[in-house]
Structure 1
Amino acid sequence: MNSIDQENPCLIQDVLRNIINLWSIGVLLLLNSGKLRFSEILRNLPGNISKRMLSKTLRSLEENGLVKRTVFATKPPSVEYELTELGFSFLPIIINLEQWAIENQENINIAKKEFKNRQ
């Protein structure tokens, strides 16, 4: 363990727990194309996320500095989300992770079948 880990053993785990999950990664990838409203994110996010879970995910990303939320004084109020500088700096990591998953999907499926056959 290095000195940073000894001083703050949970720091890395806390950061990763707050920003790396299925929905957060999807939201960040969507926002790479530009500002989006809540309904646009909800409609375009792969999978079946509830409005409550999307709200929670966006709040967490905003709290951690990856997403900026802008509220417009319209009736009803409209809200836009966009990546912050920190969010953009995190994108290459997510894109590499996504690429790795695509490239290794077949190997992972084979490993799962082999594991299941051994059970």
Structure 2
Amino acid sequence: MTPPTAIDPRIEALVTDLIGRVADKWTMVILEILAEKKTLRFGKLAEAIGTISQKMLTQTLRTMERDGLITREVYPVVPPKVEYQLTELGFTLGTAFCGVWVWAAENLSRVDQSRQAFDRRTSEASQ
């Protein structure tokens, strides 16, 4: 591990920003859907997610586009047609976080046991 004094502050800021972004709930969902479907229009993407508001989807897509994770293509037709697609950068971010899924699958029973033991202890302590 690199000592804290040797970390480039720009890299540290990017990692902090990306962790916050991925932890925002919607970014990872969108990454996963676009990795599977390749290209989707706004409405189909909203349908695939299900519970996201139009405002939140728009904000998340704009942020992802700004970060270079997706591309947005607007077609000059009526009604407007807009399609979203993962960039190579977006695909690699999704791949990087696949490790969390692997870890969760490998450690699910241990986490469940720990949670149950904690809940028993806190329940007994409050009685």
Query: TM-score with structure 2 length normalisation?
Result: 0.77
- Is residue 2:29 matched to residue 1:26? yes
Q: Quote the offset at 1:66 in angstroms.
A: 0.4
Amino acid in structure 1 at the alignment position of 2:58: S
The structure showing larger relative contact order (alpha-carbon pairs under 8 Å, at least 6 residues apart) is 1
Q: Select the structure of larger CA radius of gyration.
A: 2
- Aligned amino acid, residue 109 of structure 1: D
Q: Does 1:48 align with 2:51?
A: yes
1:39 matched to 2:68? The reply is: no
Q: For 1:21 and 1:104, how far apart are their aligned partners in 2?
A: 23
Superposed displacement of residue 60, structure 1: 1.1
Aligned residue pairs, count: 117
Structure 2 unmatched ranges of 5 or more: 123-127
Return the letter of the residue paired with 1:86.
L
Identity %: 34
CA RMSD of aligned residues (A): 2.1
TM-score, structure 1 normalization? 0.81
- The one-letter amino acid paired with 1:99 is V
Extract unaligned runs of 5+ from structure 1: none
